[in-house]
Amino acid sequence: DTIYHAHLSAFFLLHLLRFHGVLPDLSRCARCGRTDFTRFTLDTPDFTLYRQHHNGMRTRYKVRVREYLDSHVSYWEVKQKTNCNRTIKARLRAPDSTADGDDLIDEFLNTHVPFDANELEPKLWNRFLRMTLVSKYRPERLTLDVNLEFRWGDDYVTMPGIAVAEVKQARSSPRSDFLEHMRQLHIRPNAFSKYCAGVYMLYDGVK
């Protein structure tokens, strides 16, 4: 089945040392979990989806295959950012992360992406550890991605000591324990894409 959800979100890029003092306070007011991921991200041969994001287009897409390493369950995902600054995600469970040429997958991609499925090809592999904190008091979730690794072909890069935090809210709310901590640390939200970071570190000749 395909799953849709939408949320408002804000990204923060910070060093892990700055987060250590925040985590104990957040853990007291949230349920915690952790998951190890690998992902393949797909794009057109000329990086259309990468350029959409890099150019700040209001409506843009990401296409990827996500594998949960603890359960070895994989999903094809299409992530759409709308011109209303909302994120909509559709996903389809796949038998494994290398599934290719399946009619059901082609139908899924053709339904949710404004490209022919045959135009898309794998462009980047990345792995990271995600900690998730779900608030006990409001419709809010914080994800913290660390140990970021990127690979394509024989090239491999990492982002040691860097945490990518994303606050996801069902609706905009001024009350947020994490956002309050960020204000106290004078850390501003910043746009960040792991796919874009991996592409410009591993590929030559891209914007």
Can you give 158-189 as a three-state secondary structure string? Answer: EECCEEEEEEEECCCCCCCHHHHHHHHCCCCC
pTM, entire model: 0.85
- pLDDT at res. 18: 82
Show the low-confidence residues of the chain (pLDDT under 70). 1-7, 95-101, 171-174
- pLDDT at res. 42: 96
- pLDDT at res. 37: 87
Neighbours of 98 (CB within 10 A): 11
- pLDDT at res. 174: 61
